[in-house]
Amino acid sequence: MNRSDQDIRRVGKAGDDLIEAERFAALLAGYSEKMDRMEMFDPEVIALLKEHRVWKAVHGDNGQEATLTHQCRWIEALAARCTSTAVFVQSQLTVGHTILLSNSPLAGHLLNEMREGTIWGWGLTEAEAGSDILSMKTSARKEGDEFVISGNKRFISNAGIATRYLVFARTSPERSSKSISAFVVPSDTPGLAIARYEHKMGLRASPTGDVVLDDVRVPSASLVGEIGEGVGLALSTLRWSRPLIGAVSVGVARGAFEHLIKVVGPTDRELRVLTSKHQARGHKLADLLMQVFAARTLLYDVTTRADRNGELPPMWEASSVKAFCSDVAMKVANEALEVAGREAVGVDAPLQRYYRDAKILQIFEGTNQIQKNAIMKELDLVNFAVK
């Protein structure tokens, strides 16, 4: 088989997978509003993810890791129908990439577990350590062949339904990039508990809570990577996970736009006549479409170049995607509410859910102000002449 034949087959397989992503996402339409209203992630959706082999599709299978573009396509499709499910899957991909980057002896085994549907929580954030990782207070001290972990983690996705957590903890009192390490902590380990759950404006079906670790003992083999590699792993992971949040944002913007068109889209006659009233509304829809298109184009420009080069996107590109796409999601959802009017404000109206979900995308995974700081630090690396 020559190279062109291989490329054609690869593209065909990717196309089939993306069709499957859209088909699976369509199944979520029956769950998204109910889960949002009940503030609960439906176990049936977890079962569907496994039944339809979504975990293998997004993590890669048959010895091949999924590309960033492939993962973003899946996340976009899911977010267009149910943001909470998209974030649920995105959080697994974030943990998976951290484990992959660590080159840990555990990596192969843990990633295979993920492909089979093991649910993880990402244990990085604390009340005083959000964007400033080095302010982390959770500690891990060595005792014989074990580490003893103590501390409180805040805003942890999948709290209460995860069976494993990737916990970042301080292994040195110094405030340095080598003072934090990462550990695998099973949820049934004595001393680990969920202190409370957040009742949120958006992503209401995504369980988010405080994870408390009270002298939690884990074997030394639970260390992911080497001692002191936690900060490097977390920051490198952001170069992968921020485009994933960009994909969630594109999905939210796309979903809100598609629903708006169903509600107020011009009829064939209106398109032909184009009276001043209909033209004004049509221009608004055109503006929103351009916003969605621009965000989607930016996202996949960055991911396809990263995949082609076989490396993570530079931080300034990853942060640009996260900030721009989440701003677009908020803008499109907000203006869709205004255009739709009374069609948007019912309890189960999808547009009001898209609006509530969009706001958090500007805040978590680093606020958009933090993204601009990251971009600002790498202005000297920008070179538009390099593809």
Positions marked catalytic = 365
Structure tokens at 119: 């649910």
How far apart CA 257 and CA 285 sit, in angstroms, is 8
Between CA 317 and CA 319 the distance in angstroms is 5
The DSSP bridge partners found for residue 196 are 210
With beta carbons less than 8 A apart as the criterion, state whether 325 and 299 touch.
yes
Q: How is residue 334 written in tokens?
A: 């907000």
- Cα–Cα distances (Å) from 342 to 259, 260, 334, 336, 354, in that order, read 14, 12, 14, 11, 15
Q: Is 157 helix (H, G, I), strand (E, B) or coil?
A: strand
SS3 label, residue 269: helix
Q: Based on C-alpha coordinates, what's the Rg of the chain?
A: 22
Question: What is the distance between the alpha carbons of residues 267 and 286, in angstroms, rounded to a whole number?
Answer: 15
- 224 with 109: CB under 8 angstroms? no
Longest dimension (CA), the chain: 80
Is there a contact between 323 and 302 (Cβ–Cβ < 8 Å)?
Answer: no
Distance separating alpha carbons of residues 247 and 255, to the nearest angstrom: 12
Cα–Cα distances (Å) from 210 to 12, 40, 85, 169, 195, in that order, read: 44, 16, 20, 15, 5
Given a contact cutoff of 8 angstroms between Cβ atoms, the answer to whether 210 and 252 are in contact is no
| Phi, psi torsion values for 186, nearest 5 degrees | -60, 145
Helix (H, G, I), strand (E, B) or coil at 354: helix
